[in-house]
């Protein structure tokens, strides 16, 4: 009888320790700070650029990009997407980037 109680107590102790360890591990993943801060609202220019995935054909329209920079093509299906439209900045801030 005593041996059964000891085994049950040991099992409960192992479960509690595992729960506390696992909860701490999950909490540490969620608290990570973002790698970079988002740009200020004035630092983005309105754009209308379309990209298409080479593998599955998914179309993506980019509507904002950093001012005075040509944006990099996003990745989809582990490949860089193809530029489908001319790069044009609506605000005129990127004149000369074409």
pLDDT digits (tens, 9 = 90+) for 31-57: 656 666 766 767 788 888 899 999 999
Quote the domain boundaries for residue 64: 37-98
The band of 19, judged by pLDDT with boundaries at 50, 70 and 90, is: very high
Looking at the structure of the chain, the number of domains it has is 2
Do residues 54 and 82 make contact, with C-beta atoms less than 8 angstroms apart? yes
Do residues 49 and 87 make contact, with C-beta atoms less than 8 angstroms apart? yes
Instruction: Indicate whether 49 and 89 sit together in one domain.
Output: yes
CA 81 to chain centre: 17
Do residues 51 and 83 make contact, with C-beta atoms less than 8 angstroms apart? yes
The band of 98, judged by pLDDT with boundaries at 50, 70 and 90, is: very low
> For the whole model, what pTM was predicted?
0.47
* pLDDT reading at 15 higher than 50: yes
Instruction: Indicate whether 27 and 42 sit together in one domain.
Output: no
The b-or-e profile of 51-89 (16+ CB within 10 A means b, else e) is: bbbeeeeeeeebeebeeeeeeebeebeeeebeeeeeeeb
């Amino acid at each position: 009888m005593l041996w059964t109680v000891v085994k049950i107590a040991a099992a409960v102790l192992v479960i509690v320790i595992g729960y506390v360890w696992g909860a701490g591990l999950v909490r540490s993943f969620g608290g990570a700070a973002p790698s970079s801060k988002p740009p200020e609202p004035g630092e983005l220019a309105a754009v209308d650029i379309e990209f298409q995935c080479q593998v599955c054909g998914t179309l993506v329209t980019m509507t904002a990009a950093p001012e005075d920079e040509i944006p990099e093509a996003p990745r989809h299906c582990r490949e860089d997407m193809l530029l489908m439209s001319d790069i044009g900045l609506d605000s005129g801030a990127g004149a000369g980037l074409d």
